[in-house]
Structure 1
Amino acid sequence: MNSIVLELQRELLQKDCDVMQVLRKAHLIAVKLNLTEFDAWIQGELHGYMCEAENLPAYRHMKGELKAKNPRLGWIPAILSTQSGQTLDTVPVYESLSALIDIGQKAKGNYFYYSYPPEFSMKICRQAGAPTYMEIALFISTHRIVEAVEQVKNCLLEWTLNLESKGILGENMTFNETETESAKGLSQQINYYGPVVHGNVTGSQIVSGSDNTATFYGAEAEIIHEVKESLEKEAISEDDMETAIELLEDISEKLSQNKKPGVIKAALSGLKDFLLAAGADITAALIVAKMQGMF
């Protein structure tokens, strides 16, 4: 008998097991048996999870070392917490498993990092009493990705053993009526689900490698538009707003003229300093993040 369930077991026990291939096969089995809850977990690993998903597996809450990017010293260790006292050394990882594997393979220095969005970093810097804005990121060992892959394989293996114990084997990729009926009584609980990590870090970007800086937004032409949108939300005086817009338009013109990077950097730095003095901290933080990605 050619059993798809036993075939999946054999593949999971192979040293060179292709975890994405076994997930696809598990998806096929789950759909045929109408195991929708278990398949939701499989789909999450295949395609990624929705942000702030309630049932994000515990192994996807990855712990790392929190660092701040000092303008003079580079990345330095940071010990920070939120106002609620929650430490920031753990982050929920929503990417598909294939994306995480790719990040792990491309990483330099055996780690990757999550760079928090500028607004969040600015808020944390204020709470910590930092003298200047610093980018905040969580550096995570690539071993965490290896652990996630192994957890997925272990979970699938336990699932196939449970199916086998109930006589659900699937001959020639099909399940008979008895097997389908037996599947209804199976528990679809995933053993590795854990508590949700609370705290909104929407906009975090994953970065692999040792010396990479986060490229938050794509083409340079988009920078002016996004900074202007942020600026319009700032509560600053009308005169300061007019001056900021003029400075921004000047930068836009320099970009269109393909001025040297040093000229653009100096103009952005001038705008950032003006905004900090005017009280437009969020937009100033956004510019800092843009500059770190550009230069």
Structure 2
Amino acid sequence: MSTSVDHLQERTQDASDLLTDIVPSAITLATMLRHRKMAAWLREEFDGYTDKDKAPPYRRDLPGHIVAKSPQYGWIPAPVDERQTAEYGHLDLPEGIKSLEQVCLNCKKGNGHRALLDKDDMAHVQKQINLKAELAINLSREVYCRLLRTIRSAIYLWTESLADAGMTGEHNHYSPEERKTVEHLDTPEVFWRQAMEQVDELPVPDVRELGFLERMFGRAG
């Protein structure tokens, strides 16, 4: 698989190319350029953050809705007020990108993914609303997709800067002189913070939905 800057940038703009498949190529490119900080960030994004407190802000305190499990109707909106939603209705997503991307692929637009409330938080909310039902946070598909778009956008911005610095064309390796030219671009935080601000403006696609047959028999390709 090509590790050229040009090809990687093209892949970030191709909705058929999953981020799960793009990131390993980005890690290879970062390694070739001796961009150790970028490679380390990409690996954490790929594998997930073992310490969620060290996850970037685009993975932290993501807004959701508290839902309750009804024996008759399944999961329904919980009778909570705005204060309770603000205090408990958010979630960190430290998981690796593959599991996050699978949520988007398998969810239809308008749907979401549930995660049970923390045991202590659930007990507090149950007591406050006088309800014994299981409680969960429902995060919309868009929340997951926006997180993934932010990561994809950061890679896009990084490759754009590399291309602007002249790092185009096919390379099996980069000379010390070439690496020196772009060593100042080994700044993942700069790129993901820029991506957070510009995610809606960049030519980076959303995660597509899997079709019925793909969900039944696996992704084609």
C-alpha contact (below 8 Å) 1:9/1:160 kept by paired residues: yes
Q: Of the two, which has the highest radius of gyration?
A: 1
C-alpha contact (below 8 Å) 2:59/2:94 kept by paired residues: no
Alpha-carbon separation, structure 1, partners of 2:161 and 2:170: 17
Aligned twin of 1:150: 149
Aligned twin of 2:133: 134
C-alpha contact (below 8 Å) 1:9/1:157 kept by paired residues: yes
Alpha-carbon separation, structure 1, partners of 2:97 and 2:53: 16
Give, in angstroms, the shift of residue 61 of structure 1: 4.2
Q: 1:66 to 1:132 in 2, by over 3 A?
A: closer
Give, in angstroms, the shift of residue 59 of structure 1: 5.2
Map 1:55-134 to 2 at 5 A: 55-58=55-58, 61-69=61-69, 74=74, 75-79=76-80, 81=83, 87-107=87-107, 110-126=111-127, 128=128, 130-134=129-133
Alpha-carbon separation, structure 2, partners of 1:71 and 1:119: 22
Aligned twin of 2:210: none
- Residue identity opposite 1:146 in structure 2: C
Aligned twin of 1:34: 34
Aligned length: 189
**Identity fraction in percent:** 18
Q: 1:132 to 1:171 in 2, by over 3 A?
A: closer
Give, in angstroms, the shift of residue 177 of structure 1: 0.9
Q: Structure 1 length normalisation: TM-score? A: 0.55
Aligned twin of 2:177: 178
SS of match in other structure, 2:66: strand
Aligned twin of 1:52: 52
C-alpha contact (below 8 Å) 1:115/1:138 kept by paired residues: yes
Counterpart check, 1:13 vs 2:4: no
SS of match in other structure, 2:184: coil
Alignment deviations for residues 159-216 of structure 1 (CA, whole Å, 9 cap, x no partner): 001112223347433111112222322250244358xxxxxxxxxxxxxxxxxxxxxx
Alpha-carbon separation, structure 2, partners of 1:179 and 1:106: 42
Alpha-carbon separation, structure 2, partners of 1:20 and 1:105: 12
Give, in angstroms, the shift of residue 122 of structure 1: 0.9
SS of match in other structure, 1:137: strand
Alpha-carbon separation, structure 2, partners of 1:60 and 1:131: 29
Q: 1:57 to 1:182 in 2, by over 3 A?
A: farther
C-alpha contact (below 8 Å) 1:30/1:38 kept by paired residues: yes
- Residue identity opposite 2:13 in structure 1: L
Greater relative contact order (CA < 8 Å, ≥ 6 in sequence): 2
- Residue identity opposite 1:46 in structure 2: F
Alpha-carbon separation, structure 2, partners of 1:138 and 1:120: 11
C-alpha contact (below 8 Å) 1:60/1:148 kept by paired residues: no
Q: Structure 2 length normalisation: TM-score? A: 0.71
Alignment deviations for residues 25-61 of structure 1 (CA, whole Å, 9 cap, x no partner): 1101112222222223211221112232324241554
Aligned twin of 1:165: 164
Give, in angstroms, the shift of residue 132 of structure 1: 4.3
Alignment deviations for residues 114-163 of structure 1 (CA, whole Å, 9 cap, x no partner): 1123333113333x2x3343322111111222222322222111100111
Q: 1:134 to 1:192 in 2, by over 3 A?
A: farther
Alignment deviations for residues 219-276 of structure 1 (CA, whole Å, 9 cap, x no partner): xxxxxxxxxxxxxxxxxxxxxxxxxxxxxxxxxxxxxxxxxxxxxxxxxxxxxxxxxx
